[in-house]
Amino acid sequence: MTIQSSKYPNVFLAAQYRSGSTHMAMVICRLLGHKWMSTSMSGNGDEEQNVNACECGTLMRGGKGFVFQQHCKGTSMNSQILSAYGCEPVVVTRNIYDCLLSVKENLDKTPVCPGIFIPKDYLSWGEERKWLWVAYNVAPWIAAFATSWEETTLPHMTISYEDYFSDQVKYMGKILAHHGINDIPNQAIREAASKKDGRLAVGKVGRGKELLPSPIMKIVTNILAQYPRQVTQRLTR
């Protein structure tokens, strides 16, 4: 069993794709001395969508001092498991248009997306086919992710990519305060956030609306129309 000792509680990040959550997790690890983990048994595979009860229990019974980061929805089962271990997750979202652009750019380099099936010949496709595939496969996942956390009864905090990167000191402070951590100086947060980790999903806010093809924008708009208004507003702000 993995044993981790810390005076600070565990932190669980439930993250949308390409939302800067890896950067957030690394900053938290630097600040608190935590170890970065996943409750999934399979890393970037389909199981990352689910909080693994056995792994979660083993790690959390092992002590405090973990940062958990997964691309998991707020399903009934995930919420029950997290609630059983006293987790009140931080849900990380991002503008859906910017997110889809970032996912597409990443797939064109490395065709891997946790929990999403990527055809083996994806890289040989033309741009139109790639965009259609991203729109019809990734956009529904993003909308369902946001809706699941909107509707769960599990206490949680929601933070957006846009807010976090507009003021990392302020919003990392909010993440820490959500876990009852109030003794980390702003300067320490500033220094931890300034270190380069090579995984930051850097992108100009609003770039997706500028660069997504018009037909793809229409498809995404139609997909979002099937979900609650507050979710659409959150994902398109």
Domains of the chain and CATH, by start: 11-236 (3.40.50.300)
Please check the confidence at residue 42 and state whether its pLDDT lies above 80: no
Would you tell me how many other CB atoms lie within 10 Å of the CB of residue 32?
Answer: 23
Q: How confident is the model at residue 3 (pLDDT cuts 50, 70, 90)?
A: very low
The model's pTM: 0.90
Among the listed residues 227, 96, 79, the one whose alpha carbon sits nearest the alpha carbon of residue 161: 96
Top pLDDT among 7 and 159 is at 159
Among the listed residues 96, 132, 102, 106, the one whose alpha carbon sits nearest the alpha carbon of residue 216: 132
Distance from C-alpha of 74 to C-alpha of 156, rounded to nearest angstrom: 10
Is 136 in contact with 89 (CB distance < 8 Å)? no
State residue 51's pLDDT score: 85
Distance from C-alpha of 77 to C-alpha of 199, rounded to nearest angstrom: 29
Give per-residue pLDDT as tens, 168-213. 999 999 999 999 999 999 999 999 999 876 555 557 889 999 999 9
